[in-house]
C-alpha cells in the first residue's frame, strides 16, 4: 500500500494512489466525510487523456493514519506539501472538493506555486462560510451550527450521516422542492466510506468549514477553475463559488444548473469535461 510518512509534531501516514501516467500531474483532494475513492468516477477520463492521477486520503480519513492531532489547515497543507515533495511532483494541478478546496487555498498560501501551476475548486467551502464575521454577510454557516453537527455526529454517527448525505446528494426541483439526484445506494456506499474515517477526526473537521480563506486566496496567481452546483444544499453557490472572482483574479466559474453538492457522484462527466477543457 503506497504510503508517505509525514514528519513534524503531527506525524502520520498518508495513503495515496498514483497512476504514474506520462502527462501533467493532477492531485485530487477529497471532501467530508469521504476518501480518495470519491474521485473514482471523475479520474478515468483524465487518466485516459494522459494525465498523471494522484489522489490521497486526508489524515484521519480512508486508509491514512488515524492520529489524535493535526486537524487544522496548516497541518493539512503540510501533509500535502510532503506528499508532493516525496513524489517529486511539479507542474501540478490541485483539485479540491468541498473542504478539500481549503487545502488548495492554504497550500498555495503557505507553500507557494513552485510545484503547482493551476488550481480547481469543486463545490468548495472557499472563500469564507462564517456568517458571524461582520465583514462576511454572505456567509452560510455558523459556530453554533458546527457545534450542533458535531454533537449529532458523535451521538449517532450513522443516523447523522444518513441525513447529511441525503442533503449532500439532493438538488432543487422546478417547483421549489428538493430531490435525491443519485440512486439510494449511493448514500449507503458513502456511509461505508465515511466509516473508514475516525469519527473524532470527522468531528474535528466540522468547525474548520468556518475557516476564512480570503487572505489565502489573495495569493493565488495561477489559472483557477471553480465548479459548483447551483443547487448545492450543503455549501450554497451564492455563499461560495459565486464569490470566488472577488478574491481570485484568474477564476473561471463553471456553475452546474440544479447540481447538488455531491457532484463527483451526480455529475462526474461534467466535472471531468470541465477540467479537460480548462487544461487544454
Q: pLDDT by residue (tens digit) across 67-99? A: 999 999 999 999 999 999 999 999 999 999 999
Residue 141 carries which DSSP code? Answer: B
For residues 126 and 105, the answer to whether their CB atoms sit within 8 Å is yes
- Residue 176 banded pLDDT, cuts 50, 70, 90: confident
**What is the reported pLDDT for 159?**
98
Q: Is residue 86 within a helix (H) or strand (E), and if so which, with residue range?
A: helix 73-86
Handedness of CA 57, 234, 42, 108 (dihedral sign): negative
Q: How far is CA 160 from CA 42, 123, 154, in A?
A: 27, 21, 9
Cα–Cα distance measured from residue 227 to residue 241, given in angstroms and rounded to the nearest whole number: 7
- Residue 175 banded pLDDT, cuts 50, 70, 90: confident
Q: What is the DSSP string of 145-183?
A: HHHHHHHHHHH-HHHHHHHHHHHHTEEE-TTS-EEE-S-
Domains contained in the chain, CATH given: 3-279 (3.40.50.1820)
User: What's the residue count for the chain?
Assistant: 280
Side-chain half-sphere CA neighbours of 257 within 13 A: 2
**What is the reported pLDDT for 117?**
98
As given in the structure block, the three cell numbers for residue 77 are 497543507
Give the residue-averaged pLDDT of 1-20.
96
Cα–Cα distance measured from residue 54 to residue 25, given in angstroms and rounded to the nearest whole number: 7
- What distance, in Å, lies between the first and last C-alpha atoms of the chain? 32
Mean pLDDT of the chain: 98
- pLDDT > 90? residue 154: yes
**What is the reported pLDDT for 174?**
84
Is the pTM for the entire model greater than 0.95?
yes
**What is the reported pLDDT for 112?**
98
- Residues marked as catalytic: 98, 232, 261
As given in the structure block, the three cell numbers for residue 196 are 473508514
Handedness of CA 16, 59, 4, 276 (dihedral sign): positive
Amino acid at each position: 500500500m503506497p504510503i508517505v510518512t509525514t514528519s513534524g509534531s503531527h506525524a502520520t501516514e498518508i495513503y495515496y494512489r498514483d497512476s504514474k501516467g506520462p502527462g501533467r500531474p493532477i492531485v485530487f483532494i477529497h471532501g467530508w466525510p469521504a476518501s480518495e475513492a470519491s474521485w473514482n468516477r471523475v479520474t478515468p477520463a483524465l487518466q485516459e487523456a494522459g494525465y498523471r492521477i494522484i489522489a490521497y486520503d486526508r489524515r484521519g480519513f480512508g486508509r491514512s493514519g488515524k492520529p489524535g492531532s493535526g486537524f487544522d489547515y496548516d497541518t493539512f497543507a503540510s501533509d500535502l506539501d510532503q506528499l508532493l515533495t516525496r513524489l517529486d511532483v511539479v507542474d501540478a494541478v490541485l483539485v479540491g472538493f468541498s473542504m478539500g478546496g481549503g487545502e488548495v487555498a492554504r497550500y498555495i498560501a503557505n507553500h507557494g506555486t513552485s510545484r503547482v501551476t493551476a488550481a480547481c475548486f469543486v463545490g468548495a467551502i472557499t472563500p469564507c462560510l462564517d456568517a458571524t464575521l461582520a465583514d462576511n454577510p454572505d456567509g452560510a454557516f455558523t459556530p453554533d451550527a458546527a457545534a450542533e453537527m458535531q454533537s449529532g455526529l458523535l451521538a449517532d454517527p450513522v443516523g447523522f450521516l444518513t441525513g447529511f448525505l441525503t442533503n449532500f446528494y439532493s438538488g432543487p426541483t422546478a417547483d421549489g422542492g428538493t430531490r435525491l439526484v443519485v440512486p439510494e445506494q449511493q448514500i449507503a456506499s458513502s456511509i461505508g466510506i465515511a466509516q473508514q474515517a475516525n469519527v473524532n477526526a470527522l468531528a474535528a473537521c466540522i468547525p474548520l468549514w468556518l475557516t476564512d480563506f480570503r487572505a489565502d486566496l489573495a495569493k493565488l496567481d495561477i489559472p483557477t477553475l471553480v465548479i459548483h452546483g447551483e443547487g448545492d444544499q450543503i455549501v450554497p453557490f451564492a455563499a461560495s463559488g459565486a464569490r470566488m472572482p472577488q478574491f481570485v483574479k484568474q477564476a473561471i466559474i463553471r456553475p452546474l444548473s440544479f447540481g447538488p453538492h455531491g457532484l463527483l457522484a451526480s455529475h462526474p462527466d461534467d466535472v471531468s469535461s470541465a477540467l479537460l477543457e480548462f487544461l487544454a
